[in-house]
Amino acid sequence: TPTAVMIGTGIGASNGILIKGGEPLETTHEDKAIIFDKTGTLTEGKPAVSHIMPYLLLYRFLSIVGVAKSNSDYPLEKTITAYAKEVRKDNVLLLSFFKLLNNDSESDDDDMPTVSFCK
């Protein structure tokens, strides 16, 4: 309801959280995971990976994520890449990876970035 949206955005604002419109409040119950896109301001001053629930084998998942974001200067992506390198001690060579202009991964099946690996 409009009243609930007004109250929710007001409470969020009083706690320093900006909520743009009512849609985020109305659809949040459908979310399965939330990543706060902040540079550590909600935590210890730097982002950290707390846990992973991959749908792939963990090493395969970390290979894809670690390589796909390895050239990023964005703090959240640097943290994820560092975690992937820490867990995966072996080095993985990127053979091919395609990025769109908006920095999203291009994929044949829309579930996985187009990536090839070799050891």
Which two tokens mark 21? 């419109």
99 vs 105: CA distance, rounded Å:
5
* From 31, 37, 73, 104, the catalytic residue: 37
Instruction: Looking at mean pLDDT, say which of 3-7, 50-54, 114-118 comes out highest.
Output: 3-7
Examine the residue annotation and report whether 37 is marked as an active-site residue of this protein. yes
102 vs 112: CA distance, rounded Å:
16
Q: What percent of the chain has pLDDT over 70?
A: 58
Identify which has the larger pLDDT, 12 or 109. Answer: 12
Whole-model pTM?
Answer: 0.38
Identify which has the larger pLDDT, 20 or 95. Answer: 20
Give the pLDDT of residue 50: 72
- φ and ψ at residue 94, rounded to 5 degrees: -80, 120
Cβ–Cβ < 8 Å for 34, 49: no
Asked if pLDDT for residue 2 goes beyond 80, the answer is yes
Q: Across 1-119, where does the E strand assignment appear?
A: 93-97, 115-118
Which two tokens mark 117? 């690996």
Q: What is the pLDDT of residues 31-82, one digit of tens each?
A: 777 666 555 555 566 667 777 766 667 777 777 777 777 777 777 778 878 8
Asked if pLDDT for residue 1 goes beyond 80, the answer is no
Band (pLDDT 50/70/90 cuts) for residue 89 is: low
